[in-house]
Structure 1
Amino acid sequence: MSGNLADGERAGAARPCLEIACDESGSDGENLTGGNTDVFAHASVSLSVTAAAAAVRETRDRIRSPAEEYKANHLLREKHRAVLEWLLATDGPIHGRARVHLMEKTYFVVDRAVSLLLDDPEGAVTLFREGRRTFGEEGWRAFLDAANRLLRVRPNGDPVEIFYGTADSLARAHPGTDAARILERLAATRPRAESYRAGCADGPPLIPVLNPLLPAIVRTAALWSGDGRPVTLVHDRQNMLTPDRIAWIEQTARRAGVGLAGVRLVVARDDARVQVADFLAGIARKIASDELNGRADPALTALLRPYVDPASVWGDARSRALLADPVAG
């Protein structure tokens, strides 16, 4: 998806920086298991300001809403289905020039908790895939909420006691299962959890464990700099994106060999490219959520698939296969 060498550019000459505009949808802070959305989406577009403005203008002309600022919800209304299909179509204004990184929030919580306590990503996958079937909906929800509470910077109650009490109760109720065996391993990790909580008590960490935005931005930079061309990310302003965190993003990307030249914040309504990224982020989040919850619209899923980052964060193999384009990237 990265840009090609400009016509006439000499081999070996310094390559110009590619400017990518970004926005997100589905941010609920640290409440990943009980918020308003179950998918987080981070979209990015490689469009000129002129091309993006033309896409926004055409969207407005087709929808004809008096709203001053258009959002994804305008395109997701059934009466504007044709406009949504036009935007995502292969002959539409963003095809081949846009990507979206998706995160299934509940899996993100399980992955972060198990990785922090056991340093076992595969264990997180097993627990996520087996947990609901083994523990039932109520038991699984209790575990997810306890894990979310444990990792939050400012939780209610005693998060360590609640987490380990919940894990122990579920493991005892379902002995011998793959999911229970992972919870039994977690029982020995209480000192690590208490150390984590003590660190949070000293002040909010620079990089909150439960925040999906920061790793998504690093991944976005990697998506667009895959051919060695440096990129600058132009991002909608977010309270989370402080100067220190932007520095962390840049340093993390560079340590990973990603050619991120920098991150620049703008007001979305002042940059048509960010507005287009906002459209895609909101659309992708809704389509992905419908897919996860058995409400899929196959035609929309097919239209979205070429835009989805194959490294999106899914715990469910079926969803990954349906939503990710295996040849994209």
Structure 2
Amino acid sequence: MGEDEAGTTAGAGPGTGTGTGPALEVACDESGSDGENLTRGNTDVFAHAGVHVPVTAAALALREVRARIRSPAEEYKANHLLREKHRRVLEWLLAPGGPLHGRAGVHLTEKAFFVVDRVTGLLLTDPEAAVALFRTGRDDLGNEGWRTFLAAANRLLRGRHDGEPHAPVDHFLATVDALRAARPAARTARVLERLAGQRDRAEAYRTRLSEAPAGHIPVLEPLLPAIVATAAHWSAGGRPVRLVHDRQNILTAERIAWVEETARHAGIALTGVELVVARSDARVQLADFLAGTARRIASDERNGRGDPALTALLRPYVLPASVWGDARSWGALAPEANDPLGVAG
């Protein structure tokens, strides 16, 4: 077997390469995709997992999961592990000494914060505005006002064309004006006032969107930046990394090219992305297990119903570059000293 087949030792972190040698092969899968519908979809967290486990070891781990769960299903998914009766199997999978420990990582995206980060980035080019608005908006605007704002922002950024070309712009700005009229606290009012003055930028964005070719990069798609973040994590230190990813409709040839080009511009040693059918690769199935269970654990923590034991087991896997705005839940989910994108300060 080559170096990649031999794998890393349990507990050894990624990114320890010296910039030479064969590419580290990392198998990936995601959980929680709702397309560009991030505010009214079925899930509030998106998770993208990367697993560096030798093929033979992954097959043995998958066989062990099957032996412990004993389901007749042809293909096991994360939902099998999330059933209470199989909790011990999930704990074994994530625990120190388990098949994934030291060999896997998961990038988390809090969807509501992702929308706020994208809309303030587009209109204000100010990353601090996203943090400020996200951390005060719900309290200052109330739950209904906050949901209304998120839905209007999602509609503005979404690639789908509905009605007149600038109808999403009119709707978003009318929503912002209505929320300002309710006189929220000054900390939120300041960001809303800045957003209200950005009609030109918003209309220019919708015009660009209407002229974009098929296969353009959606602003609201969390999968593509998550893949780049996963490649960055595993190639830290300069070691080349190659991703083997479950097939997804979003991953067209044009978008894979965007991922690879973005990685190159960022100095990430990504040598390529290969798409495979999950059931044909035990490593990708393990990535599915991690992505699906991480999404549920993180969502429960975000919504105040977290399981302390499962959150603690997940913590070593969470990538620092995760896109997360809620300070309380991040404090529980993040390894020590981890600070996700856009939440510093």
**TM-score interval, smaller chain:** over 0.9
Maintained 8 Å contact 2:16/2:236:
no
- 1:326 offset after TM fit, Å? 2.6
State the partner residue of 1:146.
152
Maintained 8 Å contact 1:310/1:326:
no
The yes-or-no answer on 1:34 pairing with 2:37 is no
- 1:201 offset after TM fit, Å? 1.4
Distance 1:4 1:256 in 2: 19
Q: What secondary structure, in the 3-state scheme, does the structure 2 residue paired with 1:146 have? A: helix
Q: What secondary structure, in the 3-state scheme, does the structure 2 residue paired with 1:234 have? A: strand
Normalised to the residue count of structure 2, the TM-score between the two structures is 0.91
Deviation string, structure 1 residues 152-189 (Cα, Å, up to 9, x no partner): 11154521111000101111212552111111111110
State the partner residue of 1:125.
131
Distance 2:16 2:203 in 1: 50
State the partner residue of 2:254.
244
State the partner residue of 2:118.
112
State the partner residue of 2:14.
2
State the partner residue of 2:4.
none
Once superposed, what is the RMSD of the aligned Cα atoms?
1.6
Change (3 A) 1:294 1:311: same
Maintained 8 Å contact 1:149/1:155:
no
Which structure 1 residue ranges, 5 or more long, are not aligned?
A: 6-11
Q: What secondary structure, in the 3-state scheme, does the structure 2 residue paired with 1:295 have? A: coil
Change (3 A) 1:155 1:323: farther
1:43-122 mapped onto 2 (5 Å cutoff): 43-122=49-128
- 1:200 offset after TM fit, Å? 1.5
State the partner residue of 1:323.
333
Distance 1:16 1:160 in 2: 49
Q: What secondary structure, in the 3-state scheme, does the structure 2 residue paired with 1:20 have? A: strand
1:265-304 mapped onto 2 (5 Å cutoff): 265-304=275-314
Structure 2 letter corresponding to 1:76: L
Distance 1:25 1:297 in 2: 19
The yes-or-no answer on 1:254 pairing with 2:273 is no
State the partner residue of 2:318.
308
Distance 2:148 2:92 in 1: 42
- 1:16 offset after TM fit, Å? 1.2
Structure 2 letter corresponding to 1:180: A
The yes-or-no answer on 1:186 pairing with 2:195 is yes
The yes-or-no answer on 1:161 pairing with 2:170 is yes
Structure 2 letter corresponding to 1:221: A
Maintained 8 Å contact 1:101/1:311:
yes
Distance 2:68 2:306 in 1: 25
Distance 1:56 1:98 in 2: 15
Change (3 A) 1:105 1:155: farther
Distance 2:175 2:23 in 1: 50
Q: What secondary structure, in the 3-state scheme, does the structure 2 residue paired with 1:161 have? A: helix
Deviation string, structure 1 residues 126-173 (Cα, Å, up to 9, x no partner): 111111100100000000000000001115452111100010111121
Deviation string, structure 1 residues 222-279 (Cα, Å, up to 9, x no partner): 0001121100000001111111111111111111111101111101000000000000
State the partner residue of 1:9.
none
Structure 2 letter corresponding to 1:276: L
Residue in structure 2 matching 1:136, options 118, 134, 142 = 142
- 1:320 offset after TM fit, Å? 1.6
Distance 2:216 2:75 in 1: 33
Structure 1 letter corresponding to 2:40: G
Distance 1:4 1:113 in 2: 36
Distance 1:321 1:207 in 2: 32
Change (3 A) 1:2 1:176: closer
1:168-183 mapped onto 2 (5 Å cutoff): 168-175=177-184, 177-183=186-192
- 1:100 offset after TM fit, Å? 0.1
Structure 2 letter corresponding to 1:267: V
Q: How many pairs does the alignment contain?
A: 323
Which structure 2 residue ranges, 5 or more long, are not aligned?
A: 1-12, 340-345
- 1:212 offset after TM fit, Å? 0.3
Distance 1:140 1:132 in 2: 5
Distance 2:124 2:19 in 1: 47
State the partner residue of 1:198.
207
Structure 1 letter corresponding to 2:322: S
